[in-house]
Amino acid sequence: MSSGIVCSNMGLKAGKRIGVKGEISAGAKSFVLNLGKDQANLVLHFNPRFDVHGDVRTIVCNSLDKGEWGAEQRESAFPFQEGTNVEIFITHDPSNLTIALPNNHQFKFPNRLGLQVIDFLNAEGDFKIKSIQLE
């Protein structure tokens, strides 16, 4: 996976939303959006997998607490296509993150770290960020 953009000191408070627009590469295997306090404390590791690590067209989510991974959560809905532009919105509150995907699909992932503020975002893999919107 190629390394992409890194944002820090974002100050995204609970109840607010981040929107990420980007382009999924043609021939994509997977991409990652990480949100959290820093790279060792991720409230959300969002990993759509087209065909990698034994997963095909599956979204894998997890959290990272002081460098230790939690339990993976898999989502079967997969509204992504290689070579297309997408927009992903993530809203967080003290108990959950709500991830809104294309085609009006959304799901929740628990705020396992109890973060009140998200300061860190990075993107990796077969995804080129075109814009980031904090609301």
Cα(113)–Cα(100) distance, rounded to whole angstroms?
20
Express each pLDDT in 27-67 by its tens digit. Answer: 999 999 999 999 999 999 999 999 999 999 999 999 999 99
pTM for the predicted model, two decimal places: 0.95
Express each pLDDT in 75-112 by its tens digit. Answer: 989 999 999 999 999 999 999 999 999 999 999 999 99
Cα(7)–Cα(109) distance, rounded to whole angstroms?
21
Q: Please say whether the beta carbons of 54 and 47 come within 8 A.
A: no
- Residue 63's CB: how many other CB atoms inside 10 A? 24
Q: What is the assigned CATH class of domain 3-134?
A: mainly beta
Cα(85)–Cα(112) distance, rounded to whole angstroms?
30
